[in-house]
Amino acid sequence: MNAPPSTDRWITRPRPSPRARLRLFCIAHAGGGASAFRGWADALPAEVEVCPVQLPGRENRIMEAPFERVGPLVEALADAVQPFLPLPFALFGHSNGALIGFELARTLRARGRPGPVHLFASGRRAPDLPADRPPTHHLPEPEFLADLRELGGLPPELLAHRELLSLLLPTLRADVAIHETYAFTEQAPLECPITAYGGVADPRVRRAQMEAWERHTAGAFALRMFPGGHFYLQDDRPLLLRTLSADLHRVFAALQ
């Protein structure tokens, strides 16, 4: 069983700011940790306190059991973000992180807690769309890793480091299981606007699947497509962060 959440383990704050007007909780892709957002705090507006989420089973939490289903994960994460809710916040999630962010927003709403003022959903089809490929999280290791390599999610140096790879494999499988076992339930759209980010050459997520996020907001919707594949945000980080900065300034304007 996973340990009760502790804010200092779940929420990292590389540049705490008592003058922040907005917190941006960032949730990484399958297998990714808070370090995926290294440098974001220096590149985004000073009024934004960037708060990368550190889920169990990765980086400094590598020895903790990862979650295999999204429901228990977002319940624990909702507890962890509780102390931060007095300040307006937005969510940025990439791939698996987009799904987690979406369900976190719905969980906070169900609890009667403040929700995000904006959701940035990156690199994942809209949550109500069914899977268009068979599951892989149960496959033997060679086939499972081959599928991740096709997506571009495994650096060559990690593949060459067998000991580290074997340590990370349970987390990778658990994260992919979160994605593949997710069952969408119909609810009212979120009140907050949604901006979907995607890569034009993503082999798994098509533009139309990103556009479908519009159905999940009662507010404004925008789609931003970037050069690159599923990990476009690593391939051209300066462009991504310039675009996100401009979008965050629009969020500030809406808050006034």
What is the set of active-site residues?
95
Cα 227 to Cα 123, 153, 237, 240, distances in angstroms: 12, 17, 11, 10
198 three-class SS:
strand
Secondary-structure percent of the chain, ordered helix, strand, coil, rounded to 5: 45, 15, 40
Show the tokens assigned to 255.
């808050």
For the chain, how long is the longest CA-to-CA vector? Answer: 53
The DSSP H or E segment spanning 194 is strand 194-199
* Cβ–Cβ under 8 Å, residues 49 and 17: yes
